[in-house]
Amino acid sequence: MKISRGINGLKGLGRFGAIGRVLARHGFGDIFERVLKGKKTDPEGETIPGEGFPSARRIRMAIEELGPSFIKLGQLMSTRADIFPPEYIAEFKKLQDMVPPVPFEEVKAVMERELKRPLLEVFAQFDEKPIAAASVGQVHIARLPTGEKVAVKIIRPGIERRIKEDLRLMYFLAARAEKSLELGRAIGATNIVREFERNIVRELDMMIEAGSIEKFARNFKEVKEIYIPAVHWDYTTRSVLVMEHIDGIKMDQVEEIRAAGIDPKEVALIGLRSFSRQLMLFGFFHADPHPGNTLVMYDGRVSLVDFGITGCLDEETMRQIANLFLGYAEHDYGLVMDALTDAGLISEEMDLKAFRNDLKDVSESFYGRSLQHISVKDVYDQMMELVLKYGIRLPRNLLLLFKTFIQTEALGKILGSDASILEVTRPFAKKLLQRELNARSALRHLDREGRALSGYARSIPKHINDILRQTASGRQRLELRHSGFDRAQAALEKGINRLTVGVIIAASIIAGAMVLNSGQKVIKLTFQFLGLQTVSLTAILGLAGYGVATLLGIWLIVSILKSGRL
């Protein structure tokens, strides 16, 4: 879905005016006017909560009135506790998809257009009343001609066009807010809208959700306690998803679960193990495990449904999270700090000693408690206070993970679980790290030194790249020094000298032979030796060449024999 990030002519002007009226009605008139003018303001001139700035409740009410797109944006903002204060997060979490269902005739028109057949040729039965309705889509129950019961999720007609218009306005307002308001720059308004666009585009494509279901089914194929519904691809399009209907009990209906002869505490353990597998083994997790999306089947298995919101973790992040969990489980704050540093969340520019002390103060009081005596939400809230205090920005996947963690903990509490989250996740974290070490033929035992070695191996290429980049920009200078080459240099020189002597020997022999064989006689000398003898100077020179070559040859052979390297 390509969005034009600006206001062109009169396009969208009516919607823009409606947004302005809503914001003015809820006390945003002055701020909205400054945003439209795009004038920079003094940060000290911007009001804060309690001093004239609209309260968190009024912001939430304005978002609700602005409609589905802005409600979805507010829901995203409720996960950004690293940006917004707790009172705003609490209000944003109250935002619900409070929208009436689409009339059946409109749903029928969408289905028949997408499937290119009359509705009753595709389904033997189709319930006109939806079992769930949200801002993006709604769900109906139907039966295939085979008699199989299915759940049919349909994208609301016209919602994509409406979201495109609202996104265009969101980008316009975000850019103006960042230009004119310190608050807009501080929260990164444009980045929030960009993240919202990425999320909503995925929710509008049923093929993406169907693919997520298939991926979960493959991941949990060998896990008997978890069941993933099947996708009926023949009836699934970009706007329609048809999947197996799951008969089960919502996870928060504890008495019904007991009445079915199922232990709620065991159900909670299944949920915790499922979450640990998703997090530590697969790197792909269901990011909205509320009671309506998590069903207890009558045979005791747990089924996950509605995969509209999922999260992904790469191998690096999975390893960092595993180290983080193990660090907490083993009270090893050095490992926790290493994991946070490795993830790029903290750096040496921070007051690391103060951060470590604050982190320890927050964490120590929660050790050893079961789900009934610990609140992941409390831990999360206190962690977010540290994040805000030290100006840490968390990546989206980690924030989504924290949200999922809190929802999983809430379900465990509802089911009366006395399990410890850290104890349940510990074996999966160890399995992940052991697998990584084995794959690299590194240390076979899972201890801190082995984990540190793996971390160093990963960080070295990055450090080298940083050094080379700084050198290229002139901020650093590389100075290369070598030592220990003196002996090698002496040996090389000796070899070259011997080679030179060998060449001289060969040249002397050749020159002497040529002179002796020459027919030219230069300066004949006569002397008395055993009679009168005549010798030419050329003959003397030739003999001298042979003599020099012989002496040099003998010296070369002796030196080679002495070196023992013949």
In tens, the pLDDT along 60-96 reads 888 888 887 888 888 778 767 667 777 888 888 787 6
Please state the rounded mean pLDDT for residues 101-129.
92
Q: What is the pLDDT of residue 216?
A: 94
CA atoms within 13 A on the CB side of 10: 1
Q: Which amino acid is at 318?
A: M
pTM: 0.63
- The answer for residues whose C-beta is within 8 angstroms of residue 84's C-beta and 6 or more apart is 77, 92, 187
Q: By the 8 A CB rule, do 171 and 193 touch?
A: yes
More confidently predicted of 134 and 375: 134
Q: Using alpha carbons, list the distances in angstroms from residue 250 to 62, 512, 561.
A: 32, 109, 93
Between CA 76 and CA 188, with CA 11 as vertex, the angle to 5 degrees is 30
CA atoms within 13 A on the CB side of 467: 9
Give the pLDDT band (50/70/90) at residue 46: very low
Question: Is residue 442 over pLDDT 60?
Answer: no
Q: What is the pLDDT of residue 166?
A: 87
Q: Which amino acid is at 115?
A: L
Question: C-alpha dihedral over 23, 24, 30, 35, to 10 degrees?
Answer: 40
Please state the rounded mean pLDDT for residues 219-229.
94
Give the pLDDT band (50/70/90) at residue 10: very low
More confidently predicted of 22 and 270: 270
Please state the rounded mean pLDDT for residues 421-448.
64
Structure tokens belonging to residue 425: 């996740």
Give the pLDDT band (50/70/90) at residue 49: very low
More confidently predicted of 416 and 376: 416
Q: What is the pLDDT of residue 454?
A: 62
Which is catalytic among the residues 82, 288, 306, 342? Answer: 288
User: Domain 103-156+205-245, what architecture?
Assistant: 2-Layer Sandwich (3.30)
More confidently predicted of 50 and 469: 469
Question: Which range among 52-61, 304-313, 367-376 shows the weakest confidence by mean pLDDT?
Answer: 367-376
369 backbone φψ class: left, alpha, beta (φ>0; ψ -120 to 50): beta
Q: How many angstroms separate the CA atoms of 246 and 229, rounded?
A: 7
| DSSP designation for 53 | B
Question: Is residue 227 over pLDDT 80?
Answer: yes
Q: For residue range 339-396, what is the model confidence (pLDDT) as tens digits?
A: 778 877 777 778 888 888 888 877 766 555 555 555 566 666 677 777 778 777 777 6
82 a catalytic residue: no
Structure tokens belonging to residue 278: 């998703």
Q: How many angstroms separate the CA atoms of 92 and 82, rounded?
A: 14
Q: How many angstroms separate the CA atoms of 356 and 334, rounded?
A: 9
Q: What is the pLDDT of residue 210?
A: 95
What are the helix (H) ranges across 67-158? 68-77, 86-92, 104-115, 119-122
153-156 own/partner pairs: CB under 8 Å, 24+ apart: 153/206, 153/209, 153/240, 153/241, 153/242, 153/243, 154/102, 154/107, 154/110, 154/111, 154/239, 154/240, 155/110, 155/204, 155/206, 155/238, 155/239, 155/240, 156/102
Strands of 15-96 (E only): list them: none
Percent residues over pLDDT 90 in the chain:
21
Question: Is residue 525 over pLDDT 60?
Answer: no
Helix or strand (DSSP H, E) at 564: none
